[in-house]
Amino acid sequence: MLKKLRRLIRFIEFISKFVPKPLFVFLWRFSDSSESKVALLIRYLYVKKYSNDCGENIYIGKGVILKNIEHLTLGSNISIHAYNYIDAAGGITIGDNVSIANQSSLISFEHTWEEDNIPIKYNKVKKERIVIQNDIWIGTGCRILSNVTLYRRSIVAAGAVVNKDVLPNTIVGGIPARKIKDIY
């Protein structure tokens, strides 16, 4: 269906370049509780316009929160399902053919605690990248923390907390995430 509508989407994409950000933010909020085709198109156009880079065929479900979007790079054929929280302060790159199930979080920074004369919440924040390569499936309710790479063709099982790299062709799960088995 996308192939049939590609010209129309390209035209709407061109027109969206002239939409001011406050209006786009309003449209995002207006469409945030819906997964209608119009709502999905609004969210796609927003991400296409304000992210660092964005490929084709991007699905952004309802209730998704995208912070520091200017540091977010997206490939093509990506689905980010409902109620995900993505903060790209340290930079997040998501490759092609990636699915992120609902209620997961990608957080590309962490708090430090070295300065003991001030509360931890006021200590410096350390920003580090998250890289999600091609052909990745992230299950429901996962947490992907900063300074992590998920290498190609890997699966993160539901509920996992990933705080270190995930090797290619593996399934990881648990808290913290550990290798469960190889896949081929």
Percent of the chain surpassing pLDDT 70: 98
Report yes or no: 17 and 36 within 8 Å, Cβ to Cβ. no
Residue 7 burial (CB count, 10 A) = 9
Beta strand residue intervals within 29-177, DSSP E: 53-54, 58-60, 65-67, 72-74, 78-80, 85-87, 92-94, 98-100, 105-107, 109-111, 125-127, 130-132, 136-138, 143-144, 148-150, 154-156, 161-162, 170-173
Percent of the chain surpassing pLDDT 90: 87
Three-state DSSP at 47 gives helix
Pairing status of strand 125-127 against strand 143-144: unpaired
Report yes or no: 107 and 143 within 8 Å, Cβ to Cβ. yes
pLDDT band at residue 3 under the 50/70/90 scheme:
low
pLDDT score at 173: 98
Report yes or no: 156 and 150 within 8 Å, Cβ to Cβ. yes
pLDDT score at 13: 84
> pTM for the complete prediction?
0.91
pLDDT score at 74: 98
Q: What six digits make up the tokens of 56?
A: 């084709």
Q: What domains lie within the chain, and their CATH numbers?
A: 1-50 (no CATH), 52-182 (2.160.10.10)
Across all residues in the chain, what is the average pLDDT? 94
pLDDT tens per residue, range 86-145? 999 999 999 999 999 999 999 999 999 999 999 999 999 999 999 999 999 999 999 999
With residues binned 3-state (H G I as helix, E B as strand, rest as coil), the percentages for the chain, rounded to 5, are: 25, 30, 45
Residue 143 burial (CB count, 10 A) = 19
